[in-house]
Amino acid sequence: MIRSMTGYGQSEKVEHDNRCIVEVRSVNHRYLDISSRFSRRLSQFEYQVKRKIKENFSRGYFDISIKFDRIGSDGLNVKIDMNLAKRYIEAVEDLKSELNIGGETDINSIMRLKDVIIFEEPEEDIELYSNILDKALNSAIESLKAMREEEGKVLLDDMLLRLGSIKESIVKVKDREPVILKEYVKKLKARIDSLLDGIESDPVSISQEVAILAERCDVTEEMVRIESHIEQFVRLTETDGAIGRKLDFILQEMNREINTIGNKTNDYPSSQAVIEVKSELEKIREQVQNVE
pLDDT score, position 210: 57
Q: Give the Cα separation of 103 and 106 in Å (integer).
A: 9
pLDDT tens per residue, range 15-28: 888 889 999 999 99
Strands 77-80 and 117-120: what pairing? antiparallel
Q: Mapped to the 3 state alphabet, what secondary structure does 115-163 carry?
A: CCEEEECCCCCHHHHHHHHHHHHHHHHHHHHHHHHHHHHHHHHHHHHHH
Cβ 243 vs Cβ 2: under 8 Å: yes
Report the CATH architecture of 7-72+125-148: 2-Layer Sandwich (3.30)
Alpha carbon 7 to its chain's center: 8
Q: From its phi and psi, is residue 16 left (phi > 0), alpha (psi between -120 and 50) or beta? A: left
Indicate the class that CATH gives domain 152-288.
mainly alpha
pLDDT score, position 52: 94
Q: Enter the pTM of the model.
A: 0.69
SS3 call for 83: helix
- Name residues whose C-beta falls within 8 Å of residue 135's C-beta, 6 or more positions apart in sequence: 11, 13, 20
Q: Give the Cα separation of 34 and 64 in Å (integer).
A: 8
Cβ 160 vs Cβ 288: under 8 Å: no
Q: Considering just the CA atoms, what is the radius of gyration of the chain in Å?
A: 38
pLDDT tens per residue, range 216-261: 667 788 889 999 999 999 999 999 888 999 999 999 999 999 998 8
* Order of all β-strands in the sheet with 18-27: 7-15, 18-27, 60-70, 32-37
Domain positions in the chain: 7-72+125-148, 77-120, 152-288
β-bridge partners, 34: 62
pLDDT tens per residue, range 123-161: 667 788 889 999 999 999 999 999 999 999 999 999 999
Does pLDDT of 44 surpass 90?
no
Q: Which amino acid is at 194?
A: S
